[in-house]
Amino acid sequence: METIKLKGEYIKLGQALKAAGTVGSGVDAKYIIEDGLVSVNGQIEMQRGKKLRVGDVVTFDGNTITIE
């Protein structure tokens, strides 16, 4: 499980995947999100720009990212 500490009000989903080291680039993040492989709080998320806030949980390929 990976934890990302917010510095501002939110972080976008694509940025969170990159920051956690789950994907190598923003392009990789774009494709896995568009393919419906990422969920936020248990729901499949198709928007790379989805704003994540404290308490959100992202899952992808068996990895969990918690936003703090």
Long-range contacts of 55-63 (CB under 8 A, 24+ apart): 58/13, 58/16, 58/17, 58/20, 60/17, 60/22, 60/32, 61/22, 61/37, 63/1, 63/2, 63/20, 63/22
> Where are the domains positioned within the chain?
2-67
pLDDT band at 5 (very low <50, low <70, confident <90, very high): very high
For range 29-41, the mean pLDDT? 97
Residue 1: pLDDT band with limits 50, 70, 90: confident
Residue 48 has pLDDT above 90, yes or no: yes
Class of domain 2-67: alpha beta
What is the reported pLDDT for 58?
98
